[in-house]
Amino acid sequence: MNSPLKNEYLFQKKIWRIIIKAADICGNKVIRPFISKKEYPAEYKKVLFSKIDHLGDLILLLQILPQFHKNFPATKIHFLIGSWAKLLFDGNKFVEKIIIYDDIVLDRDKKYHKKIIKWLVSIWKVIFLIRKEKYDLAVDFRAYFPNTIPLLFLAGVKYRAGFGTAGFGFLLQKQAKWTPNVHETQHYLELLKAININIKPLNDEKYFDYLLKKRSKLVSSAKKGYGKYIVVHPCSADKNKNWQQNKWREFAKAFPNRSILFVGSKKEKIYIGEITQGLNNSINLAGETNISELAGILKNASLVAGVESFVCHLAAALGTPCIIIASGIADISQWMPLKNSGIVNIAVKCSPCFSSSGCKDMLCMDIPARTVIGKCKELL
């Protein structure tokens, strides 16, 4: 199998590997000698977990918190996250505080001038907030560029741990090895193990029920009015990972006795509307749900089908069976939910390619509708 790790870095373009390698060489000679090499303490009063990724990745990480809390009940857990993930932490009893940092690379706001200004302001604000908290430990769980290692260093966190696969490993007290071809949660556990924290991910489908605490008319009407329904999320932030619209229409027609609830963001409403147009059993809910309402709808669904996205991760975590239509861009065995999920994909020679933009033909997404339909019917 192809590996995204090239010369110890998770950059696919050679030019970036050369630039970051040069920076790391300089950093190791100039800055590394001044980095404290003290052993990590056995107990921590307050820790900062950094995970500025998007929602699906955070679902995987959050599942380790109950076990971490069990091992360290007196430790206060704070998170450094993007603003897009804020509602995911609302009501999580294991997280005392969140700090918002929208990195310019990960921010999906298309107004670039606004994004740049927001990023420049937030850098200094975040450094100030982290310094103020005086954390005993900060762990950056993101192995890809951009990471937050420079921020944690500038904020003066006493002990810092993370991966050096996106550069700046010389600023860490402990740099964990990143292993290809294993599940993403295994990377998180190996990173914690490197600082003598041995835990396992949670296997409790009720953990994410904290997201269901807010009652909603939309969720209630879905339970009463739609009967045994199927939820579909047909859109990915990466358009190359989308399955063809006509195949989603064929999918909906294959379940005439069930309501098909299509979910997505406000930006995806028109795209989804083109799928649901003229289908009597299909409802377009794009842009009409917050995270709590979405969780309620997913929890009560008979099945969830979709492309690689946060929705399928959340559904699986809530205990609802889901079918994921996976492209050949990433190694799906690394990113799939921990449980309650099935994968439909096509094995092509170039898969996984690890190309952020995919390719022109995207043969890996030429998956017949009957294959997905058949897989779903097996679970109903």
Neighbour-count burial for 15-41, b at 16+ CB within 10 Å, e otherwise: eebeebeeebeebeeeeeeeeeeeebe
Q: Are 35 and 170 in contact (CB under 8 A)?
A: yes
Q: Are residues 172 and 68 in the same domain?
A: yes
pLDDT tier at 217, thresholds 50, 70, 90: low
What per-residue confidence (pLDDT) applies to 60? 92
Confidence of residue 218 (pLDDT cuts 50, 70, 90): low
Residue 40 and residue 178 in one domain: yes
* Residues 294 and 352 occupy one common structural domain: yes
What is the residue whose two structure tokens read 């190309």?
355
What mean pLDDT is predicted for residues 150-168?
96
**Residue 3's pLDDT is what?**
87
* Cβ atoms 170, 31 nearer than 8 A: yes
pLDDT at position 221 is: 64
Do residues 215 and 327 both lie within one domain? yes
Q: How much is the average pLDDT of 99-127?
A: 88
Report yes or no on 5 lying in a domain.
Answer: no
Is 7 within the bounds of a domain?
A: no
| Distance linking the first and last C-alpha atoms of the chain | 33
**Residues 255, 355: one domain?**
yes
Q: Is residue 2 part of a domain?
A: no
Task: Kindly report the CATH number assigned to the domain that includes residue 362.
Answer: 3.40.50.2000
Question: What does the pLDDT average to over 163-182?
Answer: 96
- Asked if residue 123 has pLDDT above 90, the reply is yes
Residue 147 pLDDT greater than 80, yes or no = yes
List C-alpha distances in Å: 19 to 13, 14, 104: 10, 9, 19
Would 242 be classed as within a structural domain? yes
pLDDT at 212: 86
Alpha helices per DSSP H over the chain: 14-30, 55-62, 65-71, 112-133, 149-154, 184-194, 217-225, 245-253, 269-276, 291-299, 310-317, 332-335, 369-379
Within a domain: residue 199?
A: no
The better pLDDT of the pair 113, 158 is held by 158
Number of residues that this document lists for the chain: 380
pLDDT in tens, 290-320: 999 999 999 999 999 999 999 999 999 999 9
| Domain final position from 194, 216, 232 | 194
Cβ neighbours around 172 below 10 Å, total: 23
For residues 102-121, average pLDDT: 85
* Per-residue confidence band for 214, with pLDDT thresholds at 50, 70 and 90: low
Structural domain including 173 reads 14-194
Q: pLDDT-derived band of residue 215, with 50, 70 and 90 as boundaries?
A: low
Q: Of 341, 306, 303, nearest to 327 (Cα)?
A: 306
Q: What is the pLDDT of residue 136?
A: 93
Query: In the listed set 194, 228, 255, which residue is the last one of a domain according to the structure?
Result: 194
φ/ψ of 80, rounded to 5, equals -105, 115
Q: Do 96 and 189 share a domain, yes or no?
A: yes
Domain boundary among the residues 194, 220, 251 is at 194
Rounded Cα–Cα distance for residues 311 and 313 (Å): 5
Beta bridge mates, 79:
49, 98
Sheet with 230-233, edge to edge strand ranges = 282-284, 260-262, 230-233, 303-307, 322-325, 341-344
* Same domain flag for 61 and 185: yes
pTM here is 0.94
Residue 3 lies in a domain: no
Please check whether residue 202 is in contact with residue 278, taking contact to mean a CB–CB distance below 8 angstroms.
no
Q: What is the pLDDT of residue 137?
A: 96
Cα of 194 vs its chain's centroid, Å: 22
Q: Are residues 189 and 234 in the same domain?
A: no
* pLDDT score of 27: 97
Cα–Cα distance measured from residue 304 to residue 252, given in angstroms and rounded to the nearest whole number = 12
Based on the fold, state whether residues 25 and 47 are members of the same structural domain.
Answer: yes
User: How confident is the model over 220-238, as pLDDT tens digits?
Assistant: 666 666 778 999 999 988 8
Same domain, 100 and 57: yes
Q: Which residue, among 299, 314, 296, 308, has the nearest Cα to 234 in the 3D structure?
A: 308
* 122 domain residue, yes or no: yes
**Same domain, residue pair 308 and 168:** no
Look at the chain and report how many structural domains it folds into. Answer: 2
- Residues 279-295 have a mean pLDDT of 93
Asked if pLDDT for residue 138 goes beyond 80, the answer is yes
Tens digit of pLDDT for each residue in 22-55? 999 999 999 999 988 777 777 899 999 999 999 9
Do the beta carbons of residue 167 and residue 23 sit within 8 Å?
yes
d(CA 166, CA 172): 13
User: Tens digits of per-residue pLDDT, 79-111?
Assistant: 999 999 999 999 999 999 999 999 999 988 777
In a domain, 9, yes or no: no
Per cent of the chain over pLDDT 70 is 96
- pLDDT confidence of 377, banded at 50, 70, 90? very high
Give the pLDDT of residue 222: 63
Residue 281: pLDDT band (50, 70, 90) is very high
* Residues 59 and 132 placed together within one structural domain of the fold: yes
